[in-house]
Amino acid sequence: MKKIVAAALMAAAAGLYAIPATAQEDGLSLEGKTIGVAVVGTQHFWDREAFNGATTTVEELGGTVVPVDGGRDNQVHADNHDVLLNRGVDAVISILGDGAVEPKFEALKSAGIPVFTVDHPSPYSTNNTTSDNYTMGTTIGRYMADAIGGKGKVAVFNAFEESLRICGIRTGLWKYVLQDYPEIEIIQPELAEEFANAPEDARRQTLDLLSQYPEGTIDAIHVGCWDQPAIGIVQALEETGRTEIKVTALDGGPETLEIMAEEGSPFVANVAQQPYLIGATSAENVARYFAGEELLPQTYVDVMPVNGPEEARQAYEDLGYGSLN
């Protein structure tokens, strides 16, 4: 595997994006408004990009941002909403988080402060902006089934299906598609990746898996909700010469698209998201709310299916990460 170009991670956040013309043409404004932006963490590319999209757009629409970072601790992220409540912000954009945020959202709503969630449906949210998770789950199911000829044994990393709604949709629909492929067997028990240091954790778990399943007895490894573990899975396959096993995952960040773009890579399919655009869209929805527009409960942002190295190179360029040609 070629060296990951870490600098590309920051390229999209370095001014490559701008507020969509529609926002400016619609005359949206947050002038005089103070908007709290709470993010669960900024270590992961997706989280950081969504945060950058939200904060940059609030400022470009004339608002003032009060940022809080949970450091990837869900309880700290939840408690940070108390900070925003006490600051008396005009609205809150909350990016990710688990059930610990719900009572905080309820308190904000009771105080008359609207909450706009990102990738976290909630009964207390005025609007949730998210990727089209339904398309993500079904598309990666079809791509993975095609990659192994519609039959074989598949291992899945699936730590978050029960705890995070977005992961439940993606993984659940992947499994739904596989019901049409009766010759595909999901290996039990499913694997549970760790969030912290996910690539190395997945590498070690994959090496253990391969020791139990000799060549010819496993056909694919899928990551149910995101794609950082896939980096370690590919490393393990390459270390053991087991690159006949296909790898699929979801998110389409620059580092995994780069791995996919290599000819002969076992990482064969992905579905890329647009996290910066998701954050920016949420900020625009805050402006629409204050302009008196009626918002739907969910705003879906298009995703980009990526099948094979050529499409990985094209997606990398289309998403503003640079060129791999």
Burial 279-294 (b: 16+ CB within 10 A, else e): bbbbbbbbbbbbeeee
- The pLDDT assigned to 4 comes to 31
In a domain, 158, yes or no: yes
Determine contact, residues 249/227, Cβ cutoff 8 Å. Answer: yes
- The pLDDT assigned to 16 comes to 38
Same domain, 111 and 141: no
Long-range contacts formed by 317-321: CB under 8 A, 24+ apart = 319/12, 319/252, 319/254, 319/257, 319/272, 319/274, 320/11, 320/12, 320/16, 320/17, 321/8, 321/11, 321/12, 321/254, 321/257
Listed in sequence order, the residues at least 6 apart from 60 whose beta carbon sits closer than 8 Å to its beta carbon are 19
Same domain, 309 and 178: yes
Same domain, 70 and 181: no
83, 102, 125 - which closes a domain = 125
In a domain, 325, yes or no: no
125, 159, 179 - which closes a domain = 125
**Residues β-bridged to residue 153:** 185
In a domain, 7, yes or no: no
User: Which residue range is the domain that position 60 belongs to?
Assistant: 34-125
Determine contact, residues 306/269, Cβ cutoff 8 Å. Answer: yes
In a domain, 151, yes or no: yes
Torsion angles phi and psi, residue 202, rounded to 5: -70, -35
Q: Is 157 left (phi over 0), alpha (psi -120 to 50) or beta?
A: beta
- The pLDDT assigned to 3 comes to 34
- The pLDDT assigned to 108 comes to 98
Count of domains in the chain?
2
Measured between alpha carbons, how far is 271 from 205 in angstroms, rounded to an integer? 23
- The pLDDT assigned to 7 comes to 31
Length of the chain: 325
- The pLDDT assigned to 27 comes to 85
79, 107, 125 - which closes a domain = 125
Q: Extract the tokens encoding 42.
A: 């900024």
Determine contact, residues 141/177, Cβ cutoff 8 Å. Answer: yes
Say what the pTM is.
0.84
Give me the tens of pLDDT residue by residue for the chain, a chain 325 residues long.
433 333 333 333 333 344 455 555 578 999 999 999 999 999 888 999 999 999 999 999 999 999 999 999 999 999 999 999 999 999 999 999 999 999 999 999 999 999 999 999 999 999 999 999 999 999 999 999 999 999 999 999 999 999 889 999 999 999 999 999 999 999 999 999 998 899 999 999 999 999 999 999 999 999 999 999 999 999 999 999 999 999 999 999 999 999 999 999 999 999 999 999 999 999 999 999 999 999 999 999 999 999 999 999 999 999 989 999 7
- The pLDDT assigned to 5 comes to 31
In a domain, 212, yes or no: yes
In a domain, 169, yes or no: yes
In a domain, 89, yes or no: yes
Same domain, 142 and 268: yes
Torsion, Cα 302 311 190 242, to 10 degrees, reads -170
Q: What is the CATH number of the domain that holds 89?
A: 3.40.50.2300
